[in-house]
């Protein structure tokens, strides 16, 4: 029987090599393209005949955008409006990548740490760049919480710096771990269905149990996909907020 | 304040909870890694690794404590709706 980890294997569809670097077009890259195309179609076709009184599709697109705008307003405030396109693109990509991954035989791009860490480190560097662009060297006051006793200052600054450095790690590991764990669980229970079903006799009847479990897990995975996309966008807002509105 | 959808509250709580749990683990890991690198630079094995491991753990717990204090401030500021006994909160 196939290993539950087989679904995460990368296959080269087009082999390419640029100056010694392997830049092959893999199944992961293909599903990223599929994700981008589907997001694009969803948005463009939904807004093609935009009317004052929106139809179902237009309502779906608009409510998603309003959701992100609301999240940005709540977490960043009026200064965050110009980052709405970035957060919206991020949210839509992660959401669609997670949901496409749940379709049988599809590949989940967000189940690879390389992908999520690339996103997270880009966000991390962006936060630093925006912070220095807006506040200059005053940005370092991020590491000094208000009302810190002068005696504790070196210790607190050190702790705050470590806490700042964990951001790209927590952001990427959370998404990656949630998607990977869920998909392994689905495959393991699917494996139980097959092996019990083939065992014959009374065991074949028992195969209904992992089947029911898998259906329940599938519903849970749908929830996890949406929640993790939301959390990824939300934390990006929280981190951007620290760079945009220094609290003191 | 409008009454929030309990399912939205639950998924937001799930998101928040997993966030702080992960931050404690990641804080310790990043602290330990920083200390280990500092040890290799300064040749102070194993003291920096131990110190930074602890600092990372403290950083994770400090984030958790701040979040709890923030939540507590919100809960305390909220007026108790009429007809709800205070001890029935959070059920």
Give me the residue spans of the domains in chain A: 6-244
| Structure confidence at residue B29 (pLDDT) | 92
The distance of B83 to chain A (nearest Cα, Å) reads 30
Closest CB to A159 among B22, B29, B58: B58
**pLDDT tens by residue, A35-53:** 999 999 999 988 887 777 8
| Structure confidence at residue A210 (pLDDT) | 92
| Structure confidence at residue B91 (pLDDT) | 44
Is the separation of the CB atoms in A80 and A244 below 8 Å?
yes
Cα–Cα distance measured from residue B55 to residue A155, given in angstroms and rounded to the nearest whole number: 8
Residue A214 pLDDT class (50, 70, 90 cuts): very high
Does B74 score more than 90 pLDDT? no
Check residues A92 and A152 and name the one with the higher pLDDT: A92
Question: Could you report the predicted ipTM of this complex, rounded to two decimals?
Answer: 0.72
> Chain A, 116-175: which have a CB under 8 Å from a chain B CB?
155, 158-160, 162-163, 165-166, 169-170, 173-174
Cα–Cα distance measured from residue A244 to residue A238, given in angstroms and rounded to the nearest whole number: 10
Residue A5 pLDDT class (50, 70, 90 cuts): confident
| Structure confidence at residue A221 (pLDDT) | 94
- When scoring B10, B15, B51, B52 by the number of chain A Cβ atoms within 10 A, the one with the most, hence best to mutate, is B15
Domain boundaries, chain B: 13-76
Nearest to A102 by CA among A190, A168, A43: A190
Residue B35: its chain A contacts at CB < 8 A? none
Determine whether the interchain pair A159/B59 forms a contact, defined as Cβ–Cβ distance below 8 Å: yes
| Structure confidence at residue A89 (pLDDT) | 95
Q: What is the DSSP string of chain B?
A: -PPPPHHHHHHHHHHHHHHHHHHHHHHHHHHHHHHHHHHHHHT-TTHHHHHHHHHHHHHHHHHHHHHHHHHHHHHHHSPPPTT--GGGTT-
State both tokens at B53.
Answer: 């491991």
Residue A162: its chain B contacts at CB < 8 A? 27, 30-31, 34, 52, 55-56, 59
Residue A160: its chain B contacts at CB < 8 A? 59
| Structure confidence at residue A240 (pLDDT) | 93
Cα–Cα distance measured from residue B5 to residue B17, given in angstroms and rounded to the nearest whole number: 18
**pLDDT tens by residue, B16-62:** 777 888 889 999 999 999 999 999 999 888 898 999 999 999 999 98
Closest CB to B23 among A170, A223, A227: A170
């Amino acid at each position: 029987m196939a290993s539950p980890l087989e679904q995460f294997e990368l296959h080269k569809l087009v082999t390419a090599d640029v100056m010694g670097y392997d830049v092959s077009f893999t199944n992961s890259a293909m599903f990223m393209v599929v994700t981008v195309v589907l997001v694009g179609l969803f948005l463009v076709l939904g807004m093609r005949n935009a009317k004052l009184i929106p139809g179902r599709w237009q309502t779906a697109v608009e409510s998603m955008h309003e959701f992100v705008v609301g999240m940005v307003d709540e977490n960043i405030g009026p200064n965050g409006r110009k980052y709405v396109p970035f957060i919206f693109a991020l949210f839509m990509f992660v959401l669609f990548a997670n949901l496409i991954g749940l379709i049988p035989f599809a590949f989940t791009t967000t189940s690879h740490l390389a992908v999520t860490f690339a996103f997270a480190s880009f966000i991390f560097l962006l936060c630093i760049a925006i912070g220095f662009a807006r506040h200059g060297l005053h940005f370092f006051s991020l590491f000094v919480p208000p009302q810190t006793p002068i005696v504790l200052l070196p210790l607190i600054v050190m702790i705050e710096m470590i806490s700042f450095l964990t951001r790209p790690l927590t952001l990427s590991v959370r998404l990656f771990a949630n998607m990977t764990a869920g998909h392994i669980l689905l495959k393991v229970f699917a494996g139980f269905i097959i092996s019990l079903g083939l065992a014959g006799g009374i065991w074949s009847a028992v195969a209904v149990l992992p089947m029911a479990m898998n259906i329940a897990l599938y519903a849970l995975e749908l929830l996890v996909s949406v929640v993790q996309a939301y959390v990824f966008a939300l934390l990006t807002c929280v981190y951007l907020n620290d760079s945009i509105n220094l609290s003191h | 304040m409008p009454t929030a959808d309990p399912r939205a509250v639950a998924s937001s709580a799930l998101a928040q909870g997993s966030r702080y749990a992960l931050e404690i683990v990641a804080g310790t890991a990043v602290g330990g890694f920083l200390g280990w690198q500092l040890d290799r630079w300064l040749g102070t094995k194993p003291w920096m690794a131990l110190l930074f491991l602890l600092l990372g753990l403290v950083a994770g717990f400090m984030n958790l404590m701040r979040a709890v204090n923030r939540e507590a401030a919100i809960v305390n500021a909220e007026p108790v709706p009429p007809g709800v006994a205070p001890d029935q909160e959070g059920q």
